[in-house]
């Protein structure tokens, strides 16, 4: 109960000082659903042009800039969108690449598309992310060779509004030709995993989603998540209960299980949000930076190694997979179900006499979700259910905003900085050192040279 | 070290008695790579007929009968197989359904396919699995209405060779027309999650995979996994080390991270294999059954609630997602990397001067994997790497067989029955009770009626 009392203090009456720091360190995302109409119009007009002129779009991005788009595509585009032209209703195919360094998928995609009919979107704040940068170099080269001298008009960069390698490239190309290498801004203070309502807008408009609806849902959720009373604030309650069960009962695994095929990718998106925001080695401290502003710093004297581990799955499919372990294995998990009450389409089981005959799929999938809830309770396994009236832009916008807010609150309770990701630097150092980058600090290069991976042969079976 | 000594005793010199029970309770899967040539020929000839006559195949199945096929499709078919006819080289599109009760995806698929040009495969041992049965009823109805009186010739069932609702249907239809409702057998003693080399053959042949190669790889792995010396037996060593780290050091989460886009679905397949085989509430005991044969029974007096929780992901993409938590969050995980040394295709980063320019994607992805290994070691996080020369049928067959064998060994060390899944019964009881099935034991119906899900309104935020 200590934690629950603390929760009431922490949310949502954040002190003015904390709120200031929140905003400085990443809470800008919380204001994204209030973007102005001029932004909408610009995005929509480019999207319409792309949708009319091109047969395919390739979107290059990784992390949130891939997972957010995949989540939106699966949830809000018609199923089998890329496979069947009739599903797309004259809109272009939409492919995500640059989210891996696998040569097979990128090569196969480029082989199959016509460069004259393909539009390229590249998403990177700095332009230095290895995967996206490498894929962009390859795809640009392919466009250049296949689409003619004005190939730059088939490229748009979603990047930092002011600085960075990709922004510089945009500015240089724009000087030559204002239709070449157009840019859309990644807003300051919005991290990749919190950026769907910013970075994802062009994609949403291309596949024909009503962005205003999406934002309306997010705004409604925002007002609910601002309630001062914990018991009617869903994000605060979610964060408080999960943190209590994590800290007091060892429920260290967070299972996200939508009962909907089209929300599986949203569960994958949430896995990044939770894992990257809260999986932290160090606590945090408030300090002054050089400009005399307060900011959070990693408190290296406070090693916490904290964070629930996310697992994304989907019902009913995974009832026939990892569910056996959820029900009978270690009792170290909390399951969050998402139940969809109305699907876009309906299917009824034909026939007579059989127990399934005459039932709708919606009835069956909702019943399966309820049954799974029941089965978990029988084994004293904690779980909660998010009820989603339908997978519409409005409700999906609300869902994402809810998860973002709940994660932010959870970060407050765990007292970690939910907006950095220092743990991903290690592998980059190693990689760039081995690729011969000059100027690596000696402390790092010595660590790499002394490591058995290089000095000794590995232990091999 | 106690567990390691035990491992040496358990593997691979299983006592004759244990081996007998293994075979009885599911080790039949270990013999699948030795199937006879007549089976091959039959499967191949049906596959060729389907590939020639039809534009699309729908495969209905759930659990292993979905995950095995998805894993094979992603690993062994060309990338973007369903999206582009040129990728398929005149083979039919191949869609999986019946693995969920989501009405949207099934309806969208049927709307887009021509029933006259679609072949339907239904995979279910009993024919009673709700998802597959419901989807089959819908798809059969759709074929019947759209493909004419002989629509049964466009259906093939992979099912029990002797009994069950689906087998009975096959037998009845076959009597009328030997080309209608053809059947392929699901072999006795092979559970769904261990059935890719049985259930998956028709799919593999349809997409043009050389099954003989697949089996050769599995057979070679089988001989390695039979070695009496633990130190050269990869599956036994894998099981022993993981079990020691699990039992002695609390590494309760099993992260599978192939550095390859096309192996992500194989990691999903492994998640079922591990989670369903080893996530068990009760230990086991050996008992005589009515026929006087020994078999394993659940030992309900021995509550163990054991099993590592699987998490599937993929490099390099998820380095920008859940990896932050793997590196800095709780130290309760073991990561298994899969490194592919040669991809089917290659891409080189064009340009000059930049640190990535001139590098191949293969070099970069392998280096990223090595770098991630290094970063984990820096934080004292255990990990191991499976090196795969290439994602060919031979090596993929070997990989699957390795995982199956390692899981079987792990089950021996944990002393649970790796071949049942009693935990998935609970939700089925609830579901069928609510659908009005008669004859439910009173103990169960009382449990359901007394449960607060039904009696009280839920706690709602």
- A1 vs B381, more confident: B381
Average pLDDT, chain B: 92
Residues 354-413 of B with CB under 8 A from A: 354-357, 359-362, 364-365, 367-368, 370-375, 377-379, 385
**B:168-207 residues touching chain A, CB 8 A cutoff:** 192
Residue found under tokens 């090693």: A303
Does some domain include residue B123?
yes
pLDDT tens, position by position, A130-140: 999 999 999 99
What digits encode the pLDDT tens for the residues B271-286?
999 999 999 999 998 8
Residue A183 and residue A265 in one domain: no
**Can you tell me the distance from the alpha carbon of A235 to that of A243, in angstroms, rounded to the nearest whole number?**
12
Q: Is A276 a catalytic residue?
A: yes
- Interchain pair A434, B320: CB under 8 A: no
Q: Verify that A429 and A337 share a domain, yes or no.
A: no
Is the distance from CB of B448 to CB of B433 less than 8 angstroms?
yes
| Cis, peptide link before residue A12, omega less than 30° from 0 | yes
Q: Are residues B167 and B52 located together in one domain of the fold?
A: yes
Whether residue A440 lies within 8 A of chain B, CB to CB, comes out as: no
DSSP string covering B37-99, please? HHHHHHHHHHHHHHHHH-SEEEEE--THHHHHHHHHHHHHSPTTTTT-HHHHTTPPEEEEESS
pLDDT at B25: 56
Phi, psi of B414 (to 5 degrees): -85, -10
Buried b (16+ CB within 10 A) or exposed e, A59-95: bbbbbbbbbbbbbbbbbbbbbbbbbbeebbeebbbbb
Chain B residues in contact with A194 by the CB 8 A cut-off are none
Q: Minimum mean pLDDT among A41-50, A293-302, B55-64, B336-345: which range?
A: A293-302
Domain shared by B18 and B72, yes or no: no
Give residue-wise pLDDT tens across range B284-323: 988 887 777 777 888 999 999 999 999 999 999 999 999 9
Residue A125 maps to a domain: yes
Q: Write down the mean pLDDT value for chain A.
A: 92
Nearest to A205 by CA among A36, A395, A52, A390: A52
Q: Both A449 and A415 in a single domain?
A: no
Which residues between 255 and 294 in chain A have a beta carbon less than 8 angstroms from any beta carbon of chain B? 259-262, 268, 271-272, 274-276, 278-282
B186: in domain: yes
Structure tokens at B365: 């992805």
Same structural domain, A66 and A162: yes
A126 shares contact with chain B (CB less than 8 Å) = no
pTM, two decimal places: 0.95
Contact B320 A453 (CB under 8 A): no
Report yes or no: A132 at the B interface, CB cutoff 8 Å. no
Least Cα distance to A264 among A57, A73, A61 occurs for A73
Distance of alpha carbon B429 from alpha carbon B444, whole angstroms: 8
Burial of A428 (0-12, 13-18, 19+ CB in 10 A): middle
The answer as to whether B460 is a domain residue is no
Bridge partners (DSSP) of residue A390 are: A342
Contacting residues of A for B230, CB less than 8 Å apart: none
Average pLDDT over residues B172-195: 94
- Verify that A46 and A19 share a domain, yes or no: no
DSSP summary character for residue A35: -
Q: Residue B397's domain is classified under what CATH number? A: 3.40.50.10490
Chain B residues with CB under 8 Å of A321 CB are 63, 67, 268, 271-272, 275-276
Note whether B328 contacts A93, CB cutoff 8 Å: no
- The pLDDT, as a whole number, for residue B24 is 58
- Residues B38 and B186 both lie in one domain: yes
- Are B259 and B200 within one domain? no
Q: Which residue of A has its CA nearest to B108?
A: A79
| pLDDT digit string, tens, across residues A188-232 | 889 999 999 999 999 999 999 999 999 999 999 999 988 878 888
Q: Angle CA(B208)–CA(B212)–CA(B216) in degrees, nearest 5?
A: 135
Task: Collect all residues of chain A within an 8 Å Cβ-Cβ radius of residue B422.
Answer: 324, 328
Which of helix, strand or coil describes residue A185? Answer: strand
A302 in a structural domain: yes
Nearest CA distance, B15 vs chain A (angstrom): 24
Q: Which two structure tokens, joined as six digits, stand for A220?
A: 């409604």
Q: Sort out which chain B residues have CB atoms less than 8 A from A423's CB and list them.
A: 323-328, 375
The CA–CA distances, whole Å, from A233 to A237, A456, B342 equal 6, 55, 52
Chain B hits for A306, Cβ within 8 Å = 329-330
| % of chain B with per-residue pLDDT over 70 | 92
Q: How many residues does chain B have?
A: 461
The pLDDT of residue B289 is 75
Residues B304 and B263 in one domain: yes
Which domain-ending residue is among A178, A212, A246?
Answer: A212
Range of the domain at B376: 2-25+229-422
Tokens of residue A372, six digits: 């799974």
Q: Give the other-Cβ count within 10 Å of B1's Cβ.
A: 7
In a domain, A221, yes or no: no
pLDDT of residue B170: 97
CB pairs under 8 A between A and B: 442
Distance CA B459, CA B296 (A): 42
Is the confidence at residue B22, as pLDDT, over 70?
no
Substitution target from B317, B366, B447 for chain A, most A beta carbons within 10 A = B317
Catalytic pick among A320, A352, A455, A458: A320
Cβ contacts of A93 on chain B, cutoff 8 Å = 83
> What local confidence, expressed as pLDDT, does residue B461 receive?
62
Is residue A6 less than 8 Å (CB to CB) from chain B? no
For B405-408, the CB contacts below 8 A with 24+ separation are B405/B30, B405/B221, B405/B222, B405/B225, B405/B235, B406/B225, B406/B234, B406/B235, B406/B236, B406/B238, B406/B239, B406/B242, B407/B239, B407/B273, B407/B274, B407/B277, B407/B278, B408/B22, B408/B27, B408/B30, B408/B235, B408/B277
**Residue B12 forms contact with A (CB below 8 Å):** no
Which residues of A fall within a CB distance of 8 Å from B435?
A: 355-356, 359, 367
Contact B346 A373 (CB under 8 A): no
Which residues of B are known to be catalytic? 276, 320, 428
Total number of domains constituting chain A: 3
d(CA B258, nearest CA chain A) in Å: 11
Tell the burial category of B416 from Cβ atoms under 10 Å away from its Cβ (0-12, 13-18, 19+): buried
B207 in any annotated domain: yes
**Residue A55 and residue A132 in one domain:** yes
| N residues, chain A | 461
User: Smallest CA–CA separation between A367 and chain B, in Å?
Assistant: 6
Closest chain B C-alpha to A32 CA, distance in angstroms: 22
Return the structure tokens found at A211. 């962005």
Q: Does A4 touch chain B (CB under 8 A)?
A: no
DSSP string, A191-249: -GGG-HHHHTHHHHHHTT--HHHHHHHHHHHHHHTT-SSGGG-HHHHHHHHHHHHHHHH
Residues 20-49 of B with CB under 8 A from A: none
Inter-chain residue contact A103 with B345, CB threshold 8 Å? yes
Same domain, B77 and B110: yes
Residue B85 falls inside a structural domain: yes
């Amino acid at each position: 109960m200590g934690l629950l009392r603390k929760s009431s203090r922490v949310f949502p009456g954040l002190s003015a000082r904390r709120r200031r720091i929140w905003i400085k360190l990443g809470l800008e995302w919380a204001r994204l659903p209030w973007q102005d109409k001029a932004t909408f119009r610009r995005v929509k007009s480019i999207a319409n042009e792309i949708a009319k002129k091109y047969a395919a779009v390739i979107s290059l991005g990784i992390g949130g800039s891939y997972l957010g788009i995949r989540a939106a595509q699966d949830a809000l585009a018609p199923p089998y969108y890329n496979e069947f032209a009739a599903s797309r209703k004259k809109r272009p195919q939409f492919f995500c690449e640059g989210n891996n360094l696998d040569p097979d998928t990128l090569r196969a995609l480029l082989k199959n598309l016509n460069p004259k009919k393909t539009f390229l979107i590249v998403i990177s704040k700095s332009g230095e992310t290895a995967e996206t940068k490498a894929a962009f170099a390859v795809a640009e080269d392919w466009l250049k060779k296949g689409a003619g001298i004005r190939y730059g008009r088939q490229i748009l960069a979603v990047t930092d509004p002011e600085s960075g390698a990709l922004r510089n490239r945009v500015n240089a190309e724009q000087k030559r030709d204002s239709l070449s290498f157009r840019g859309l801004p990644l807003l300051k203070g919005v991290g990749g995993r919190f950026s769907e309502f910013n970075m994802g807008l062009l994609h949403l408009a291309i596949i024909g989603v009503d962005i205003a609806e999406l934002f309306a849902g997010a705004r409604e959720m925002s007002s609910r998540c601002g309630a001062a009373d914990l018991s009617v604030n869903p994000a605060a309650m979610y964060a408080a209960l999960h943190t209590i069960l994590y800290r007091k009962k060892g429920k260290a695994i967070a299972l996200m299980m939508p009962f909907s095929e089209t929300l599986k990718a949203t569960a994958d998106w949430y896995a990044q949000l939770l894992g990257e925001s809260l999986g932290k080695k160090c606590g945090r401290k408030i300090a002054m930076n050089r400009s005399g502003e307060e900011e959070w710093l990693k408190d290296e004297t406070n090693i916490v190694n904290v964070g629930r581990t996310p697992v994304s799955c989907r019902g009913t499919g995974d009832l026939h997979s990892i569910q056996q372990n959820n029900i009978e294995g270690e009792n170290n998990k909390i399951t969050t179900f998402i139940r969809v009450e109305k699907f876009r389409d309906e299917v009824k089981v034909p026939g007579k006499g059989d127990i399934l005959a005459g039932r709708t799929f919606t009835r069956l999938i909702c019943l399966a979700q309820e049954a799974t809830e029941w089965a978990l309770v029988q084994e004293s396994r904690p779980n909660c259910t998010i009820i989603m009236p339908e997978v519409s832009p409005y409700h999906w916008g609300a869902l994402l905003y809810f998860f973002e807010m709940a994660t932010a609150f959870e970060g407050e309770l765990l007292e970690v900085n939910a907006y950095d990701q220092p743990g991903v630097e290690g592998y980059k150092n190693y990689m760039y050192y081995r690729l011969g980058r000059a100027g690596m600090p000696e402390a790092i290069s010595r660590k790499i040279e002394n490591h058995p991976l290089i000095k000794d042969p590995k232990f091999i079976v």
